[in-house]
Each structure stands twice: as C-alpha cells, then as structure tokens.
Structure 1
Amino acid sequence: MLTKLIPPPVVLLIGIALVYALSKAWPAATLDGSWLTWLAGVLFVGGGALMLAAVISLWQAHTTINPIHPERTRHLVTSGIYRFSRNPIYLGDALLLAGVVCWFGHPAGLVVVGAFVWFIDRFQIRGEERALAQRFGAGYSAYRVRTRRWI
C-alpha cells in the first residue's frame, strides 16, 4: 500500500526526532567517542551522495522525484546509481538516519533506523513498485530481477 498520508521526507524527519528524543530521555545509554562523530560524518556524506546521484539521474531522465505520485513517472531509470539499487533515495535516507544515531551516540536509535526501513519498504516502496510495474510492464519486471530493492 502506497501511503499518501505521510510523505517519505516527513517519515525521515519523524525518525530523526525520535532518535533525538531517545538521546534526551535516556542519556545514560549514550555512547561517547570521536569515532562515532567520524562515522556519523561518513554516513551523512554517503547518504547525501546516494540521494544526490539518484536525483541527478531522475532529472536527467526528465521524470518525477515525487514519491507520492509514482504514476507520474515518465521514464524507467535503470542507469547510474539505479543500476545498483532500485531505491537509492530511501537507502540514502536510512544512511542519514543511521548517521543521526551515531551523532547522538544512542544505540537504541538503531531500532528507529530499522523501523524506518520497515515502514518505507512496507508502505511506500511496495506501492511504488506496483505503480511502476503497471506503467512499465516487462521492462520493470526485468529491472526488478537484475537490481535489488535496497542494496
């Protein structure tokens, strides 16, 4: 089911807010270390790079980046970063959220990352996949066979 009630960027912001709330509500569980800050930076850069590469690929194909209306997709993008993941933007979101967990140093935040991935997979990606299969038929089916949903 494609949820049009909560856009994916809002789901990400809710996840970030939950990680922050966990770190404030349960500060004794917070880890400390420069390695966490370094890892957070790597995850921020990696997630941002994935998202940027995906958006550039979609713009170059003159198709929509709006996840609420996959039926408006004009072209099936299977090149660039989309050769490796069918959902590089959501993968980038998950990496950014994992970076937030590292930044705040709260390991319980990893549950939020898992919940984000589950929610997006269940309520967003599956609906997008149905819309793309309906629009692009065999071309999308072949793409699904050769390219993983996440990584």
Structure 2
Amino acid sequence: MPKVPPPVYVAAGLVAQHLLARGRRPTIVRSVAAGLVAAGSVYVAGSAARAFKHKDTTFNPLEPERATAVVTEGPFRYTRNPMYVGMTGLLAAHAVYRGGLLSFLPVAAFVAVIDRTQIPAEELAMSRGFGEAYDAYRAVTPRWVGRAGRPPTL
C-alpha cells in the first residue's frame, strides 16, 4: 500500500504549478473560471466525505482494508473515486488560475500517480474485503468519470 497521503501529492502539484507559471497574473476570466471549477471540486469531494460518514466507514486512503461498507450513493454513482476527482479538479482550477499549459502538467502527473499506485491498492483491498459486491460495483462504475454502466443497488 502506498504510504504517501494523496493530499501531499496535491500540495506538491500546487507548488509545481506556482513554479511553472511564475510571474503570470490571473485575469478576471481565469479567476472566475478557476473559482467555479474549485467550487465544483470541493462539492464533489465534500459529497463523497458525507457519503462515507453516512455509511460510517473510513475514507483513509492509506488504510482501505478498514472500510466497513461499499459506498455507492452520491458521487459514487458516477465515479469510484470522487475524492480523487475532487483533488484533480482543485489542481485543474489552480492551473486555470495560474494560466499557461505548463500549469496542467502537475494535474496530469497527479492523475498518473494516483491511477497507477494508489487506486489499484485500494481496489485490491476493497475486492478482498467485499468480494462480489465490490466487483459488481466496479464493473458498472468508472474509475474516474464517465458512464460505464448502471450502478448496482447494494
């Protein structure tokens, strides 16, 4: 299991974006667009946190084996990883705010690292812990966003 909390990657991405877009001043249009993307991202992540709390299960990404339920409500109907979608959105919002294409490199890096290291470890723990229930959910709900199928009712 990876030992770096995903928010640490987000913080590193924010610093990298700042360095990559040094001296660029945000315009009003970029500021408003970034604010809207950030607000949506916070909403998605906050909704996921509420769904975890409603099911009385952990959302500690370093200890997925401690999960006590498969959460399929709220944003989990559309993505298996709404917390990571929210974090990605925050990085994207900051990239829009900072300006320049190079500001999006840390967004891509975050997605790549989370998608290749963190998520597979979490999915393995969930599959081991919940078996067919989690596998059925995984079969119809995309890892990131999109439409993979109709989410099951658990």
TM-score by length of 2: 0.90
RCO higher in structure (CA 8 A, sep ≥6): 1
**Corresponding residue of 1:126:** 120
Q: Deviations over 1:36-72 (max 9, x none)?
A: 1111001110110000000000000000011000000
Structure 1, unmatched stretches of 5+, are none
Q: Deviations over 1:102-123 (max 9, x none)?
A: 1111320111101110001111
Count of residue pairs the alignment pairs up: 145
Percent of aligned positions that are identical: 36
Q: Map of 1:28-47 to 2, 5 A cutoff?
A: 30=24, 33-47=27-41
Q: Map of 1:2-151 to 2, 5 A cutoff?
A: 2-4=1-3, 6-24=4-22, 27=23, 30=24, 33-151=27-145
**Aligned letter for 1:130?**
L
Are the aligned partners of 1:31 and 1:106 in contact in 2 as well (CA < 8 Å)? Answer: no
In 1: Cα distance, 2:21 partner to 2:64 partner: 35
**Aligned letter for 1:120?**
I
Q: Which has the higher helix share?
A: 1
**Aligned letter for 2:115?**
D
Question: In the TM superposition, what is the alpha-carbon distance from 1:32 to its structure 2 partner?
Answer: 5.0
TM-score by length of 1: 0.92
| Secondary structure of the corresponding residue to residue 136 of structure 2 | helix
